[in-house]
């Protein structure tokens, strides 16, 4: 082999070794940075029962799947999720939605309902761990429904973990339970050391006392958010996304999605960047 050919041979070997050693690291770095930009959705899905079909008891899981898939979220906080209830055809909506969307999930049960379970859920593009469900306080009113906080840990990049939570606060006209529950959310999350995003149907307008309490511990994605309910001619903002104040999140964008068929609530979507 001539000297020029030998030089070419060693150059090719070194090039292959260099590419083999460096490319995966570069790709991992790009993926790591990309994963620190998170698309987050909050969606009260009305047990997959489109309001226009409520009288017929129609369950349209695919409509919810389509509404979520179009936004390509990394995390979704779901409320009003049925698991094996008669009214929804004895299907596990948490499992079905996660399967169709190819996402991981955690279901948090709030109450027994119609032969099955009813509560909130988390969908995640990332594997979930340390899942927990916490019961939220309520008064002694017979109409006061048990509400919960569901929370889990996700590794969004190599060695980078966050906590993500879904909740649904009391819906009664009186604000007493929502105030109790907002205080409990703050108490439950006070010692969280990981960056924390909490989203859900808080059943409270931005100017309410319960939101003021929530805002004392969380930074909501917008101070003047668009209306989220009802889906047709919305007039109230009660679906919110926030992160624990002091966490290194930057709000890149937020919007209320005009999806008016699938649920009585409009989905809320935020893009957050983790800046560390």
Shared domain for 153 and 131, answered yes or no, is yes
Domain that holds residue 4: 1-35
pLDDT band, residue 25 (cuts 50/70/90): very low
- The DSSP letter of residue 271 is E
What share of the chain has pLDDT > 90, as a percent? 84
Band (pLDDT 50/70/90 cuts) for residue 31 is low
Q: What is the dihedral of CA 52, 57, 58, 61, to 10 degrees?
A: 100
Same-domain check for residues 83 and 144: yes
Question: Could you tell me if 186 and 216 are in contact, meaning their C-beta atoms sit under 8 angstroms apart?
Answer: yes
* Number of separate domains in the chain: 2
pLDDT at position 223? 81
Rounded to an integer, the average pLDDT of 188-203 is 97
Q: Residue 19: what pLDDT? A: 43
Please indicate whether residue 5 or residue 275 has the higher confidence score (pLDDT).
Answer: 275
The answer to whether residues 141 and 120 belong to one domain is yes
Residue-wise pLDDT tens digits, 230-268 = 999 999 999 999 999 999 999 999 999 999 999 999 999
Specify whether 63 is located in the same domain as 195.
yes
Residue with the larger pLDDT of the pair 21 and 71:
71
Neighbours of 164 (CB within 10 A): 29
Q: Does 255 lie in the same domain as 191?
A: yes
- Same-domain status, 148 and 48: yes
Report which of 168, 164, 170, 157 is spatially closest to residue 201, judged by C-alpha positions: 168
Residue range 32-88, pLDDT digits in tens: 566 799 999 999 999 999 999 988 999 999 999 999 999 999 999 999 999 999 999
């Amino acid at each position: 082999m001539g000297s020029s050919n030998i030089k070419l041979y060693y150059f090719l070997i070194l090039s292959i070794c260099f590419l083999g050693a460096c490319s995966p690291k570069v790709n991992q770095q790009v993926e790591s940075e990309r994963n620190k930009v998170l698309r987050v959705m909050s969606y009260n899905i009305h047990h997959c029962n489109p309001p226009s079909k409520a009288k017929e008891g129609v369950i349209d899981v695919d409509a919810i799947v389509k509404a979520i898939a179009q936004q390509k979220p990394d995390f979704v906080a779901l409320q009003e999720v049925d698991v094996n209830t008669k009214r929804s055809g004895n299907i596990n909506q948490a499992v079905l939605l996660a399967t169709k969307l190819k996402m991981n999930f955690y279901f948090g049960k709030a109450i027994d309902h119609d032969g099955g379970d009813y509560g909130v859920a988390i969908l995640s593009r990332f594997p979930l761990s340390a899942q927990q469900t916490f019961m939220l306080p309520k008064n002694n009113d017979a109409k006061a429904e048990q509400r919960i906080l569901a929370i889990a840990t996700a590794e969004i990049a190599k060695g980078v973990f966050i906590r993500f939570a879904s909740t649904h606060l009391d819906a009664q006209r009186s604000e007493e339970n929502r105030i109790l529950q907002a205080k409990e959310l703050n108490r439950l999350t006070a010692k969280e050391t990981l960056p924390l995003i909490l989203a859900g149907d808080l059943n409270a307008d931005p100017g309410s006392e319960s939101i003021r309490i929530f805002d004392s511990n969380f930074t909501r994605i917008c101070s003047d958010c668009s209306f989220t309910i009802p889906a047709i001619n919305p007039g109230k903002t009660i679906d919110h996304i926030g992160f624990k104040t002091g966490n290194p999140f930057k709000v890149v964008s937020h919007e209320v999605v005009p999806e008016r068929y699938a649920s009585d609530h409009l989905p809320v979507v935020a893009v957050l960047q983790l800046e560390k």
